Amino acid sequence: MNIFPDKIQNIIGSEEKEPTTQQFLDNVNPHDGSIINQYARSNESDLLEAVAVAKEAQKIWASFTPVKRGQMLYDLCVKMKERQEIIARIVVAETGKSMKMALGETGGAIAVGQFFAGEGQRLFGRTLTSGVPNKSAMTVRKPVGIAGLIVPANTPIANVAWKVFPALICGNAVILKSSEDAPGTSWIVAKLALEVGLPPGILNVVHGLGLEIGEPLVKHPDVGVISFTGSTQVGKRIAVLAGERLATVSLELGGKNPLVVCDDADLDKALDWTLLSAFSNAGQRCASGSRIVVFEAVYEKFKSMLIEATQKLVMGIGDDDDFGPVINKKQLENMLSAVNSAEQKGAIVLTGGKRSEMPEHKNGYYMCPTILENVALDDEISQSELFGPITILCKAKNYDDALSIANHSDYGLTSSIHTTNFNRAIHFTQNVRAGVSVVNGGTFGSEPHFPFGGVKNSGNGTREPGTEALDIYSVLKAIHFNLSSDKLN
Ligand code: NAD
């Protein structure tokens, strides 16, 4: 198998297919701005072909028992494990992460695959009681048909696994629209699926731009479920388009997640989790800790601890470095301009606020870890997601104030509180408006069997992964049995 070809083609059925446009876009390494290779610039014609192929393949795939589908997906996991280093190398090149991070992320993706492969043995419905004598009933899960999956690049192999495995175990065929910034990561999973003998056409990958190939996928009448992870702005557009034809939609969107440090917190632990939440993966996590809410009583102390530790963070692609570049030039420019406008409105940059000036980062997209303070709760910088290593410090008078600041956002993805007070911990986790709430930890992190997702502008209420993801990719059918007692003898 060609590990990283000069041209990354679409995969439709069993074939690598040149896009009908015959055009390709540059796949750029964010660490040094070099061009790794090129990827297909697809459009609606490619999508129509993928849908036709997926439709036929889905009939075969759905005819297999869920147990058999699970066994085949397990084979894919084994292959991914065998090729873990190669997958990780692609992730490193496309995202500028360290090999250690990329291997960890690939391991996490495989664990998600194994979880859903096992669900083939547990694709449960329910048995129902009935008020009618001699009647019994049950629900069974049926595939939706074709699943259109759209992913971003921040944790590319995990993003792919979170969607592909639950969609496939439920008996759907998949059309995966890769991220412009990480096309190779989607491509390799489909290549490995063919290698282990998954039926051609059940995992198709199309590359290209959101408007040119993503939107046709969202609009196509034969694509019964759309699962999207990305920005709130695009998610809202997808909700409208898919809503017009009543397709099932799952939206996993942005966040502006609060991490609260109380006056009774273990400040050293709170510091470690703040650094990881705000800056690991260059802050490119939907779940990053982008608002650090600190009690007045410990504010100055925690602020100096945080500035000192942040200034020691090392950027680069080495395993010992703390984080790498942001994904592309446009994102870097957006961040610089957001910090600049915040400063003009009175924000104080405590550290960072600029791109790295290290000679080895000259051509890469490195944003220095940035902490801002003196921002109002309704300022643009407090409300909008920057998706980079930038966080803001907010001062809270007391617990009630901290909770109210935490909830002062249109987003509601994750949240964290650092406290040794049991009452605060319980009250916060129950009352913060977020899909995930953590005590004495980071704002990020999940496990294959944990449902993840947000409220408000962070999503539409669906959850991936966990068994809850099965609800996105299957439809429930209620089956009623009426017995004729006079026919028993
Ligand atoms: P993005 O919304 O710009 O793009 C995401 C994907 O959508 C890409 O593949 C893109 O090509 C595609 N796309 C863009 N426009 C489209 C359209 N009109 N129709 C169909 N598809 C379209 O997001 P991004 O900048 O790549 O990713 C960062 C965002 O993703 C952040 O907001 C982050 O919070 C979010 N995210 C959320 C989660 C979660 O689980 N909630 C996880 C990771 C990332």
Residues 117-173 pLDDT 10s: 999 999 999 999 999 999 999 999 999 999 999 999 999 999 999 999 999 999 999
207 lines ligand 1 (CB under 6 A): no
- Given a contact cutoff of 8 angstroms between Cβ atoms, the answer to whether 412 and 393 are in contact is no
Residue percentage of the chain with pLDDT more than 90: 98
Residue 305: what pLDDT?
Answer: 98
Q: Kindly give the number of the ligand 1 atom that is closest to the alpha carbon of 153.
A: 26
User: Measured in angstroms, how far is the CA atom of residue 233 from the centroid of ligand 1?
Assistant: 9
Q: What is the residue with the minimal CA distance to atom 10 of ligand 1? A: 210
Nearest protein Cα to ligand 1, atom 13: 210
pTM of structure: 0.97
In the structure, what pLDDT confidence band is assigned to residue 2 with cuts at 50, 70 and 90? low
The encoded tokens of residue 96 equal 């500028």
Determine which of 261-265, 379-383, 415-419, 426-430 has the lowest per-residue pLDDT on average: 379-383
Question: Could you read off the pLDDT of 432-451 as tens digits, one per residue?
Answer: 999 999 999 999 999 999 99
| Cβ of 440 less than 6 Å from ligand 1 | no
- pLDDT of 242 reads 97
What is the rounded average pLDDT for all residues in the chain? 97
Reply yes or no on whether the pLDDT at 349 is more than 90: yes
> For position 289, what pLDDT does the model report?
98
Q: How many CB atoms lie under 10 A from the CB of residue 3?
A: 12
Q: Is 128 in the pocket of ligand 1 (CB under 6 A)?
A: no
Fold adopted by 7-253+459-476 = Aldehyde Dehydrogenase; Chain A, domain 1 (3.40.605)
Q: Which of 176, 199, 177 is nearest to 62 (CA)?
A: 199
Asked if pLDDT for residue 1 goes beyond 90, the answer is no
pLDDT value at residue 156: 97
DSSP structural state of residue 212: I
Taking the C-alpha atoms of residue 336 and residue 264, their distance in angstroms, rounded to an integer, is: 35
Q: Active site includes 252?
A: yes
Residue 286 appears among annotated catalytic residues: yes
Give the model confidence (pLDDT) of 40-58 as tens digits.
Answer: 999 999 999 999 999 999 9
152 C-alpha vs ligand 1 centroid, how far in Å? 5
pLDDT in tens, 11-44: 999 999 999 999 999 999 999 999 999 999 999 9
pLDDT in tens, 365-418: 999 999 999 999 999 999 999 999 999 999 999 999 999 999 999 999 999 999
Domain ranges of the chain: 7-253+459-476, 257-439
The answer, yes or no, to whether residue 206 has pLDDT greater than 80, is: yes
Residue 137: what pLDDT? Answer: 96
Residue 308, burial from CB neighbour count under 10 angstroms (0-12, 13-18, 19+):
exposed
CB-ligand 1 contact for 215 (6 Å cutoff): yes
253 lines ligand 1 (CB under 6 A): yes
Eight-class DSSP state of 33: -
Inter-residue contact 148 to 177 (CB < 8 Å): yes
* Ligand 1 lined by 289 (C-beta under 6 Å): no
Give pLDDT tens digits for 273-305.
999 999 999 999 999 999 999 999 999 999 999
Same fold, 7-253+459-476 and 257-439: no
CATH number belonging to the domain at 257-439, selected among 3.90.1150.10, 3.40.309.10, 3.40.640.10, 3.40.50.300? 3.40.309.10
pLDDT at position 49: 98
Q: Would you state the pLDDT for residue 74?
A: 98
Which tens digits make up the pLDDT trace of 305-333?
A: 999 999 999 999 999 999 999 999 999 99
How many other CB atoms are there within 10 angstroms of residue 140's CB atom? 14
